[in-house]
Amino acid sequence: MVMAGRIATFGAKIAVVRAAFVASAGTGLLLAASAAATDAALAPRWSASQVGALRLWANAAPSDALPVPDMRKLETAIAAGDAAAIDREARSLALRLARLHLHGSAGSAARKGWRISDAADSAGLDARLDGALTAGRLSEFFEELRPSHPEYAALRQAYQNESDPARRALLVANMERWRWMPQNPGRSFLLVNAAAFEATLWREGERSGQWRVIVGKPKTSTPTFAATVTGVTLNPWWDVPASIVRESVGALVRRNPALARQRGYVWSGGRIRQKPGPGNALGRMKLVMPNPYSVYLHDTPNRALFEEEVRTFSHGCVRVGNALGLAETLLAGVKTRGEIDAVLAAGQTTTVPLAAPVPVYVAYFTASVAPDGTLTVHGDPYGRDKAITGTVTPAGFCAADAPL
C-alpha cells in the first residue's frame, strides 16, 4: 500500500507537468521536434506509474549489491515538465539499470581472468524493455534480469540480513560473480567451484550429484571458463603438457628411459604421451570437453589428497574424487555401471558420447549455499576477492523499499 501510494502521488505530478507541456507547445516547437517525435513514437511512452516504479527500482539497486544509477537527468526532465525528455531519460535509466542487473558493476580489472561470457544476456534488451512497457510488466522485467540460479537468491537474502562489513563484502563479490555467469546456464549443467574444491551437477534447479575435486596450485591456478561436455573417455591416453615435460617428465625420459617406459611414457607424434593403465595421470576416465586451456575433469591414481581440506595440488586440471561415479551419472541412459566397468576391464581407450551435451562452468565462488540452505564461506585460494570488493561499493538502502 505504501509503495502504491508513493507511485500514485508521483504519477499525479508527472501527469500535471506533461499536460502543461502539451498545452504550451507552439507550432514552431512542434515543427522543430518533428523528426525526434517520429523516432520517439516508435518506442512506448512512459506512464506516470511506470516512471515512479522505475525510480523505486533504481533506488533499491543496493538490495542487489549494486550502486544506485545516476538519475539526475530524469529528475531534471521531470522538474522541467519536458514529456519527451522524461520518456528519453526514463528509457536510458531503465537500460542502464538493466545492464547492471545483468552484468554487474565491477570494472574490467575485477573480471580479469574470468572467461565465462555473459554477453548474450543483453541480446534484444531494448525490445524486451519495450515489450515490458507495452504489457505493463516493468517490475517483472527487472525481476527477471536477476540471476535465476537459487544460489544467487540465497546470497541476496544473506546480504540483506548481514551487518558485518567483511561478510557483506564477501557476499557482494559472489553476487557479482553470479551476474558474470550466463543468466540461463542450462537446464542441466556441471559447475566446478575451484574455491570450494567441489563439482556439482545441477538438473532443473536441483543438485543431482556432488564430487570433491583437486584444482591447480596458486602458481598454476585452474582457469575460469565454460565448455561443453560431449562424452566420457575411458582408459584415456595422457598427452603430457609441454610445461610438465619441462618440469619433470622430460628429464625422466632422458635420464632413465627404462623407468619412463615402465611408467607408460612413450614418444608418439612428436610429443610425449602416457599409455592407459593404473599409473596413468588421468586415471581411468576424463571428460571430453574441448577448450583452449587443455583443462579437463578427470580421474587420478592418487586419491589420498582428496582427504585434504585445501586441495590445490594440480597443474590446472580438475581431478575428481569418485570420478567413475561422475561418469556413471553423466552416462545414465547410455551405459550402466556394469557396462562401464566392462570397458575399463578391457583396457581399450573408448569414448562414450553423452545422450545430450552438458555445459560445464569452471568457476570461482568463495561463498555458496549448502544443500540444507545454510551459507558456507570458503577460502580464497587464488586471492581473487579483493579485485572485486575494492571496486564494487553499493550504497546503503532501506530494505522496506526494496522490490521483492
Q: What are 323-352's pLDDT values in tens digits?
A: 999 999 999 999 999 999 999 999 999 999
Three-state secondary structure string covering the chain: CHHHHHHHHHHHHHHHHHHHHHHHCCHHHHHHCHHHHHHHCCCCCCCHHHHHHHHHHHHCHHHHCCCCCCCHHHHHHHHHCCHHHHHHHHHHHHHHHHHHHHHCCCCCCCCCCEECCCHHHHCCHHHHHHHHHHHCCHHHHHHCCCCCCHHHHHHHHHHHHCCCHHHHHHHHHHHHHHHHCCCCCCCEEEEEECCCCEEEEEECCEEEEEEEEEEECHHHCCCEEEEEEEEEEECCCEECCHHHHHHHHHHHHHHCHHHHHHCCEEEECCEEEECCCCCCCCCCEEEECCCCCCCCEECCCCCHHHHCCCCEEECCCEEECCHHHHHHHHCCCCCCHHHHHHHHHHCCCEEEEEEEEEEEEEECCCEEECCCCCEEECCCCCCCHHHHHCCCCCCCCCHHHCCC
pLDDT score for 393: 59
pLDDT score for 21: 39
Could you tell me the pLDDT band of residue 247, with boundaries at 50, 70 and 90? Answer: confident
Region of poorest pLDDT, from 21-30, 59-68, 168-177, 264-273: 21-30
Has residue 400 got a pLDDT over 50? no
Residue of higher predicted confidence among 26 and 342: 342
Task: Give the mean pLDDT of the chain.
Answer: 88
pLDDT score for 255: 83
CB 379 within 8 A of CB 319: no
Q: What percent of the chain clears pLDDT 70, i.e. is strictly above it?
A: 87
**Most confident listed range (147-151, 165-169, 255-259, 340-344):** 340-344
- In the chain, what are the domain boundaries? 2-149, 165-377
pLDDT score for 42: 65
> What would the pLDDT profile of 271-328 be if each residue is shown by its tens digit?
898 999 989 999 999 999 999 999 999 999 999 999 999 999 999 999 999 999 999 9
Q: At what angle do helices 83-103 and 165-180 cross, to 10 degrees?
A: 100
Has residue 20 got a pLDDT over 50? no
Q: Which fold has domain 165-377?
A: L,D-transpeptidase catalytic domain-like (2.40.440)
Whole-model pTM: value is: 0.85
Has residue 151 got a pLDDT over 50? yes
Q: What percent of the chain clears pLDDT 90, i.e. is strictly above it?
A: 70
Q: Average pLDDT of 77-98?
A: 97
Q: Average pLDDT of 100-125?
A: 92
Has residue 204 got a pLDDT over 60? yes
